[in-house]
């Protein structure tokens, strides 16, 4: 004990020093300034804005003129608005599915019978195809492939020309892209019940609408059938065959209902279904088998060597792909074949279907035709598959370069390549191609000038448009070349002609209009001298 005087002292408490436990220092993870999803959708937004700019910029003036095929779409739209009779198939000009003309009718109702209204549905369709390709590619490929593919499609001169031309061809790749996206997404997430059903329903509607666009779309059941076969195989292996069958029934049933009005029209008018196809069929050739092989080669090389020679469709004779994109496309094809040979899960088969499979199927209508090959518009259904494979090649070469080169080389080289790919279509389309006199001639700029002059005249002034050639396909007795004038002046129908006092004169109908051709004088001179109070235009 400790003694302090006479008092018993308590021992002082022993203060033990707390042992410091050695814990690892927790460093909070540094969050990126911008999330990966923000980068992803930011790039997508930039791509879509770029695509929209190229497709809408100066849409009412470039390209110059209006081609007769474009004018025919507008004239059908004007008549539909006047009569309130919107058709699923318009028989004029060798016959066309009616969806584009009906879309033009809605555009004309908003903006009048102008060039902008005529081409607006095409520009919208082209932009939405870029968005659809991203969505489809993102379902089956890494997001980098989806971004690359959609950017390359947005920057494609081939697709740009079709997106600024009034015509039904641009609608076919739009609806095939979206129907594949909704189908794949709905079946991949089939366990989500009604949400999956709504998704495949949207896909079925897109599939059905596709038949109302362009005749080559009729080959697409081959692609859809392969997708359903792969998904059915996967569902059976997973023990989910019954939900798959239900979703497939929703998809095919909705597609059939939407396509039914057109199918019924063809039942009543069977000759209309194959009228145009029979005119350009390879079976008209003396040796069809040789022609098919030659057409296959001509179509394959149009991406790399020589493209469409029609100035209305292309910078005559130039390859359909800018040469760096052509190399990426070739690399993507090789990578797709290599992946398929290596085998794998069902996603590998789906990639093969929406890549090489789509490409091969869409080439069939082209190869079996025998007019104007290589043909950029007839081949347009191939475009999304082409740029999807080019996107695969772009990401493949990027990954290879990333393993070989320092980071700063990639950070410099690939942005410069992207900038070059973005500038090229603008310069080629607006600064080079659109200013060529051959383009003005191919788009019939002279009839547009005549229409503009007619529109500046009062309605009370009689106007005679003398058409000196019947070389064009006649539409209700008037040469097709008059369609740009008939659309822009609103004079396709009898009501429109009477309101504007416009008379279309040919050698065949001159007598019925009370016009006598003076001896030794041309029809144009006879009209001009016989009606001095009127304005006479000779084409």
The 10s digit of each residue's pLDDT in 92-145 is 999 999 999 999 999 999 999 999 999 999 999 999 999 999 999 999 999 999
Task: Give the closest residue to 521 by CA, choosing from 502, 509, 538.
Answer: 538
Residue 32 has pLDDT above 70, yes or no: no
Cα separations in angstroms, 528 against 417, 447, 507, 510: 59, 18, 15, 13
Higher pLDDT, 11 or 165: 165
Between helix 36-56 and helix 407-426 the angle, nearest 10°, is 20
Q: What is the predicted pLDDT for the residue at 471?
A: 57
Residue 28: predicted pLDDT? 55
pLDDT (mean) for 8-26: 49
Residues β-bridged to residue 96: 90
Long-range contacts of 56-59 (CB under 8 A, 24+ apart): 56/123, 56/127, 57/430, 58/430, 59/115, 59/116, 59/119, 59/120, 59/123, 59/164
- So what's the pLDDT on residue 62? 97
Question: pLDDT tens across 402-461, in order?
Answer: 887 766 666 777 888 899 999 999 999 999 999 999 999 999 999 999 999 999 999 999
Q: What is the distance between the alpha carbons of residues 285 and 245, in angstroms, rounded to a whole number?
A: 44
> Tokens 């804005």, residue?
49
Tens-place pLDDT, residues 57-77: 999 999 999 999 999 999 999
pLDDT at 375 over 50: yes
Q: CA distances (Å), 348 to each of 53, 355, 469, in order?
A: 35, 10, 56
Altogether, the residues listed in the chain come to a count of 539
Query: Quick one: tokens of 318?
Result: 């130039």
**Separation between Cα atoms, residue 209 and residue 171, nearest integer Å:** 9
Residue bearing the bigger pLDDT, 34 or 116 = 116
What are 376-391's pLDDT values in tens digits? 999 999 999 999 999 9
Q: Cβ(357)–Cβ(418) under 8 Å?
A: no
pLDDT attached to residue 440: 96
Residues 6+ apart with CB under 8 A from 443: 63, 64, 65, 66, 67, 312
d(CA 502, CA 490): 10
**What secondary structure letter does DSSP report for 214?**
-
The per-residue pLDDT for range 460-506, each reduced to its tens digit, is: 999 999 997 655 678 998 999 999 999 999 999 999 999 999 999 99
Mean per-residue pLDDT of the chain: 91
pTM: 0.92
CA 353/CA 235 separation, integer angstroms:
18
Which of 181, 185, 213, 113 has its CA nearest to residue 499?
Answer: 113
Cα gap 182→203, rounded to integer Å:
5
Picking from 18-27, 58-67, 80-89, 240-249, which range would have the lowest pLDDT averaged per residue? 18-27
Average pLDDT, integer, range 44-55: 98
Strands (E), 335-452: none
**Residue 8's pLDDT band (cuts 50, 70, 90):** very low
Distances 371 to 93, 378, 536 between C-alpha atoms, Å: 16, 10, 37
Q: Over 60: is that where the pLDDT of 293 sits?
A: yes
Q: How far apart are CA 339 and CA 83, in angstroms?
A: 55
pLDDT of 85 > 80? The answer is yes
What is the tens place of the pLDDT at every residue in 141-191? 999 999 999 999 999 999 999 999 999 999 999 999 999 999 999 998 765
Q: Which two tokens stand for residue 533?
A: 């109070």
Instruction: Give the per-residue pLDDT at 247.
Output: 94
What pLDDT score was predicted for residue 260?
98
Residue 1, pLDDT score: 35
Give the CA radius of gyration of the chain. 31
Mean pLDDT (whole number) for 515-527: 85
* Cα-Cα-Cα-Cα dihedral sign, residues 251, 256, 257, 258: positive
CA 115 – CA 113 distance, rounded (Å): 7
Strands 478-479 and 474-475: antiparallel
Provide the token pair at 251. Answer: 């998809």
């Amino acid at each position: 004990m400790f003694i302090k005087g006479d008092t018993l002292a308590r021992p002082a408490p022993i203060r033990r020093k707390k042992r410091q436990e050695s814990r690892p220092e927790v460093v909070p993870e540094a969050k990126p300034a911008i999330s990966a999803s923000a980068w992803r959708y930011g790039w997508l937004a930039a791509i879509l804005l770029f695509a929209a700019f190229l497709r809408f910029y100066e849409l009412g003036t470039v390209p110059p003129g209006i081609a007769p095929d474009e004018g025919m779409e507008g004239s059908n739209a004007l008549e539909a608005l006047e009569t309130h009779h919107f058709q699923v198939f318009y028989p004029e000009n060798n016959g066309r599915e009616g969806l584009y003309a009906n879309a033009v009718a809605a555009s004309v109702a908003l903006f009048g019978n102008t060039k902008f209204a005529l081409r607006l549905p095409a520009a919208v369709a082209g932009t939405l195809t870029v968005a659809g390709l991203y969505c489809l590619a993102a379902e089956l490929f890494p997001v980098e492939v989806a971004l690359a593919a959609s950017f390359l499609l947005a920057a494609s001169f081939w697709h740009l020309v079709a997106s600024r031309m009034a015509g039904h061809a641009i609608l076919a790749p739009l609806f095939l892209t979206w129907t594949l996206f909704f189908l794949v997404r709905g079946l991949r997430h089939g366990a989500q019940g009604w949400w999956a059903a709504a998704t495949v329903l949207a896909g079925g509607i897109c599939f059905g609408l596709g038949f109302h666009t362009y005749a080559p779309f009729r080959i697409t059941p081959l692609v859809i059938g392969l997708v359903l076969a792969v998904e059915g195989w996967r569902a059976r292996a997973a023990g989910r065959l019954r939900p798959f069958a239900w979703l497939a029934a929703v998809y095919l049933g909705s597609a059939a209902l939407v396509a039914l009005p057109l199918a019924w029209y063809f039942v009543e008018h069977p000759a209309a279904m194959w009228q145009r196809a029979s005119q350009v069929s390879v079976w008209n050739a003396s040796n069809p088998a040789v022609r098919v092989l030659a057409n296959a080669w001509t179509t394959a090389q149009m991406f790399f060597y020589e493209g469409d020679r029609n100035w209305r469709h292309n910078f005559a004779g130039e390859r359909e792909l800018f040469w760096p994109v052509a190399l990426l496309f070739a690399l993507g094809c090789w990578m797709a074949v290599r992946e398929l040979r290596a085998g794998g899960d069902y996603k590998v088969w789906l990639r093969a279907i929406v890549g090489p499979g789509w490409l091969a199927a869409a080439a069939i209508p082209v190869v079996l035709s025998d007019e104007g090959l290589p043909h950029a518009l007839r081949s347009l259904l191939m475009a999304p598959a082409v740029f999807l494979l080019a996107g695969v090649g772009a990401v493949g070469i990027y990954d290879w370069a990333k393993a070989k080169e320092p980071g700063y080389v990639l950070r410099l080289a690939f942005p410069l390549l992207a900038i070059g790919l973005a500038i090229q279509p603008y310069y080629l389309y607006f600064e080079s191609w659109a200013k060529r006199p051959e383009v003005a001639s191919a788009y019939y700029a002279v009839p547009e000038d005549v229409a503009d002059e007619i529109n500046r005249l009062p309605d009370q002034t009689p106007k005679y448009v003398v058409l000196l050639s019947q070389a064009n396909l006649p539409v209700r007795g008037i040469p097709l070349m008059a369609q740009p004038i008939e659309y822009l002046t609103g004079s396709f129908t009898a009501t429109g002609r009477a309101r504007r006092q416009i008379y279309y004169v040919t050698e065949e109908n001159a007598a019925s209009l009370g016009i006598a051709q003076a001896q030794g004088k041309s029809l144009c001179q006879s009209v001009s001298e016989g009606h001095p109070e009127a304005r006479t235009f000779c084409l």
